[in-house]
Chains A and B, each alone.
Chain A
Amino acid sequence: MTDRLSEDQRALRNAVRELADERIAPRAAEIDQTGEFPWDVVKLLADHDVLALPYPEAYGGLGGDLLTLCLAIEQISRVCATSGLILAVHELGATPLMLAGTDDQKQRWLPDLAAGKMLVAYAITEADAGSDASALRTRATRDGDAWRIDGSKRFISHGSVAGIVAVFAVSDPDPAAVKAHRHLTCFYVEKGSPGFAADRLEHKMGIRGSPTAELTFHGVVVPDTNRVGDVGQGWDLAMRTFERSRPGIAAQAVGIAQGALEVATKYASERKQFGRPIGQLQMVGAMLADMATQTEAARQLLYAACDEIEAGSPKAASWAAMCKLFAGDVAMAVTTDAVQVLGGYGYITEYPVERMMRDAKITQLYEGTQQIQRLIVARDLLTKRD
């Protein structure tokens, strides 16, 4: 398995795994119970350059490729999905900037992000616009050298802890522009901008330490220099961002599944019923075998997707959708089975698998539901290519 990874990738993965096992795993249950954002984990990841992974070396980052980033997200999520998401969102939020930002804009924000001095969030979803991004209502109105943003965003990971937020707003509400996907523009809104607030947090089933915020914009004035990409290019930028961020969620899902598999395997070799470890009972052994097979299949699809996307595959959107779709479903199935293997002990907080099962569910929902991923794959299949 490790042969497909370079020596650097193996070394980086192992280093992150060691950090995760020794420093993050002991915190995971508490992070879930208190629902408090783990700033100590942010500092740990920043101190060891993990947060620098997604960014170019020219801006203080490590210039890690997509697979290396995913290896890190996977290893952290193996012990704590909330902590794994810290890295995933750190990439998601900055990807529009990396894809379409000017050198000045990158100089302005990327070094602080790479150093972990500041977090970033990505705001597209609204209360009435989830899967249907054409229903977005947050408006951006031109006002001389600046823009006025009015509206609200919902379900924004890290919305309340980020120093800057990539906000996708409607710059052209004309139905023709909406139909042509030229209605959106991307702006980076800085924390503390008058009229911008991130007050309300959601109470969630899983990833409970990760703050999911509602953002409100009341006449927030944003200079044009904070606009990333061309006016009307927002939709395209959002979609290209997902091509690079969905593998991160797939990595989180693979990590969660791997973590649950490891707990279940250990338990099945120690727990005795009918005079022997329950793993020796064929029905339990078969469950473990299926869990391991599914997890490895999801991992291999993810790694292949990363290589394809990094190589500029014309089917990048489809690869991203497929790996997130498959890994999310695997994480849900494997964690559910892990609870089953542990029986009553799996259902209580004494063991981590109930938390992993709750955490797994989000991977089927965010960055596009599983239904949207299928839509993307199907559309790609049915698109005629020259």
Chain B
Amino acid sequence: MHIVVLLKAVPVVGTERLDGASRTGRGQLESNGNDEYLLEKALKLTEAHGGEVSLLTVGPAPALEALRKALAMGATRAYHVKDDAIVGSDIRATVAILEGAIRKLTFDLLFVGADTSDGQGGVVAPALAVRLGMPYLSYASEIEPAPDGSRVTVHRLSPTGYDVLEAKTPALVMGTQVLGEPRYPSLRGIMQARSKETVVWSLGDLGVEAGNVGEGAATTRVLSAAAPPQRSGATIVKDAPDAAVQQVVDFLAARRLI
């Protein structure tokens, strides 16, 4: 079984900064949280059933750090789409680039996180499924491939519990943190990660026209962006539980919240 996991390198949560053009700064990067849950699931599945996990990212050079960590966690290899022309791409262009890369790969399952902590568009997964003409299984809380790999069963979270979906492979599965906490990389994994294969692709390798991506080709414009106002005036209750509960209840009652 070959599982491809889309992994985006996002600004380290809590350190995000906007540049003058309202673009998110890409200095210190880490793996997007939602993507790590899918990676963890992919690793567990291949550990149980055999197979390989490939990572695919579109991002600048520092994204390599996030790929290295994911390789240290146990992924087999990484594909890194890197091209200066990509800077400023909108979601449409991002999907086109990803599509180009995915079409070069043969796989059984494509795992995509629900959204990313920087862009939060949340449409890459369904858009890719449409472009690739693939079954789309969303909000997975459980993923189980058939023993022969020809089908996959997914529990899809619903307001009342979960729906059980089944699809032929190759299929695209979108998931969230319900899949389980990602592992810490082992030190042995970190040392082995360096010697694992990392394939770098430019737009030309994917047959994607540079003119169709990047800021110039963007169909959406960010008109403005602002940092949220600093929160202040928090009341921290440090008393013993009984006294603390009373204070919290009084606080909420005074504001008619309970």
Residues of chain A lying within 8 A (CB to CB) of residue B184: 15, 18-19, 23, 48
B132 interface contact, C-beta 8 A: no
B48 interface contact, C-beta 8 A: no
How far is B190's CA from A64's CA once the two chains are assembled, in angstroms?
Answer: 12
Residue numbers of A with Cβ under 8 A of B are 7-8, 11-12, 15-16, 18-19, 23, 47-50, 52-53, 62, 64
- Give the contacts of B187-242 with A (CB-CB under 8 A): 187-191, 193-194
Residues of chain B lying within 8 A (CB to CB) of residue A11: 68, 72, 190, 193
How far is B190's CA from A18's CA once the two chains are assembled, in angstroms?
Answer: 13
Residues of chain B lying within 8 A (CB to CB) of residue A62: 187-188, 191
Q: List 30 A-B contacts (CB under 8 A).
A: A7-B194, A8-B190, A8-B191, A8-B194, A11-B68, A11-B72, A11-B190, A11-B193, A12-B187, A12-B190, A12-B191, A15-B72, A15-B184, A15-B185, A15-B187, A16-B187, A23-B184, A47-B186, A48-B184, A48-B185, A48-B186, A48-B187, A49-B186, A49-B187, A49-B189, A50-B187, A52-B188, A53-B187, A62-B191, A64-B187
Shortest beta-carbon distance from A74 to chain B in Å = 15
Residues of chain A lying within 8 A (CB to CB) of residue B191: 8, 12, 62
B188 and A15 contacting across the interface, CB-CB below 8 Å: no
- Give the contacts of B168-195 with A (CB-CB under 8 A): 184-191, 193-194
Q: In the complex, which residue of chain B has the Cβ closest to the Cβ of A50?
A: B187
Shortest beta-carbon distance from A349 to chain B in Å = 15
Shortest beta-carbon distance from B180 to chain A in Å = 16
- Chain B CB count within 10 A is highest, among A7, A11, A53, for A11
Would you list the 9 A-B pairs with minimal beta carbon distance, nearest first? A49-B187, A49-B188, A49-B186, A48-B186, A11-B190, A12-B187, A15-B190, A19-B184, A15-B185
Q: Main SS of chain B's interface residues? A: helix
Residues of chain B lying within 8 A (CB to CB) of residue A50: 187
Please count the residue pairs between chain A and chain B whose beta carbons lie under 8 angstroms apart in the complex: 37
Q: In the complex, which residue of chain B has the Cβ closest to the Cβ of A23?
A: B184
How far is B190's CA from A19's CA once the two chains are assembled, in angstroms?
Answer: 14
Residues of chain B lying within 8 A (CB to CB) of residue A15: 72, 184-185, 187, 190
Q: In the complex, which residue of chain B has the Cβ closest to the Cβ of A68?
A: B187
Q: In the complex, which residue of chain A has the Cβ closest to the Cβ of B194?
A: A8
Shortest beta-carbon distance from B21 to chain A in Å = 30
Render B41-83 as a binary contact track against A, CB cut-off 8 A, 1 for contact.
Answer: 0000000000000000000000000001000100000000000
Q: In the complex, which residue of chain A has the Cβ closest to the Cβ of B65?
A: A11
Render B155-166 as a binary contact track against A, CB cut-off 8 A, 1 for contact.
Answer: 000000000000
Q: In the complex, which residue of chain B has the Cβ closest to the Cβ of A8?
A: B191
Residues of chain A lying within 8 A (CB to CB) of residue B72: 11, 15
Render B108-152 as a binary contact track against A, CB cut-off 8 A, 1 for contact.
Answer: 000000000000000000000000000000000000000000000
How far is B72's CA from A62's CA once the two chains are assembled, in angstroms?
Answer: 14
How far is B190's CA from A23's CA once the two chains are assembled, in angstroms?
Answer: 19
How far is B189's CA from A52's CA once the two chains are assembled, in angstroms?
Answer: 12
Shortest beta-carbon distance from A54 to chain B in Å = 11
Residues of chain A lying within 8 A (CB to CB) of residue B185: 15, 48
Residues of chain A lying within 8 A (CB to CB) of residue B188: 49, 52, 62
